[in-house]
Structure 1
C-alpha cells in the first residue's frame, strides 16, 4: 500500500518505490523498474519517460522547470508536488520525499557527468534513504553498514569513497580490512568477487558499484532489513 503525504513524506510505502529521472533512460530501464515496484515517482522531467512508456506517474516531485507542458497536461493535478527552492536537484527533492525500504532509480546515470556526480553526492548526503541507481551496465548504491551478496567469481566489485571510511570484507580478491579509503586518497575500484562476499563499513560515505545483474540481489538485501541503516545526517 502506498500512502501520500504522511508523516512528512510525500510518498510512503513498505515496498520498493520506483523513481525516474530525466537523464539517460531506456524503455527497458522503465519496464525493469516498474516490474519491481509498487509505485512510480517521477523527478520533474522524468515523467516524460514514464508517459512515453504508457504509464502516468503516481507522483511527480520537483521544481517543474524542465517538464514539458504537453507531458504536464497529461498528469492529474493531485499527483503534482512542486518544491520550488533552487538549492537542490530534482533527484534530491524526490528522494528526500520518499519513505521506503529501498528506492530503485533510473534516469540519473549516463549522459552528463556533472549530473552523475551530484547524484552520487545525493546518495551519500541522504544516507538514511536507501536507493539503487540503475545504469546501462552497472548499479550504484550507498553502502549500508553491512551487506551480503553473491556474484560469479571474477565479477567486478568497485568501492568508491565520498568520505573517509574504513571497513572489512570477506570474499573479495583484495580485502579492504585495515585500509583507509578516501576520495583524495586510496579508493577500491576494480576489485573482484570470489563468489559470495560480505562488506561491513564503519560509517557512511562509501559507494558500491556492481554489475547491473546484481539489482535484484541488492534490492532483496535492503528489503531483508539485515543491512542496517544509516541515521539521517544532522542538519
Structure 2
C-alpha cells in the first residue's frame, strides 16, 4: 500500500508498498489504494507550516493506472470507481500545497493522468514512457479524463497522445510540455524534492484559491458523474 516519508518540508508519497520498496510494482489504482492515497493526502494537509508534496514510486513503473482486473471483475461498480479516480485528479489539481510528480518509470493511462494532475513533473531521462494506450485497448476517455487532458496539454499534443497512444520519452515529453524537466535514474526523486522544497513557503491559504481559479474550467467536468450514457467501453 502507498506510504509517506518526510524530507524536511517535503512529504514524499510513494505509490507502491513499503514492504516491496524497489520492486517493479505496477501501482494500479485498486479501490483500497485510492482510499489509502486519500488518507495519506489528509495527513499531509493536516501538517502545519511550510510544506510541499512529491509523488513517486520505485522500480520500473510510476503507475499503470486503472486496476483493470478489479474493474472487469466488478462491472457494477465501474462508474463509482471511475468517479473516485477523477476525484483524486481534482484533489491534486487543487491541493493546498505545491505538488511535484517524480516520474521514476512508466506512466501509462490513468497513471499518466495522475502525473499530469500535479503542478510540476520531473521525468526519468534514460528510461520510461508517458503514454495513453486507451486507443489500443478499445477504451474511450471519460468526460472527466478528456477534460483533464485537453486542459493540461496543447491540442495537438492531446491529439497525438489520445488518438495514437504514442509513447513519450523524457526529451519528447519536455518538448511537448507534458513534463517540465528530466533527471537521471538516481536523481529523479532528489531533483523533485529539491524543487518542491523551494516552493514549500508558498503553502499559504490563498494557494488553493489560486489553483481552483486556475483550473476552474476542468473541475466541473472532473466532478461529472460517470454514467452509461457518457461512457461506453468498446465503442
With the shorter chain as reference, the TM-score category is 0.3 to 0.5
TM-score, L = length of structure 1: 0.38
Larger radius of gyration between Structure 1 and Structure 2: 1
Which is strand-richer, 1 or 2? 1
Q: Which has the higher helix share?
A: 2
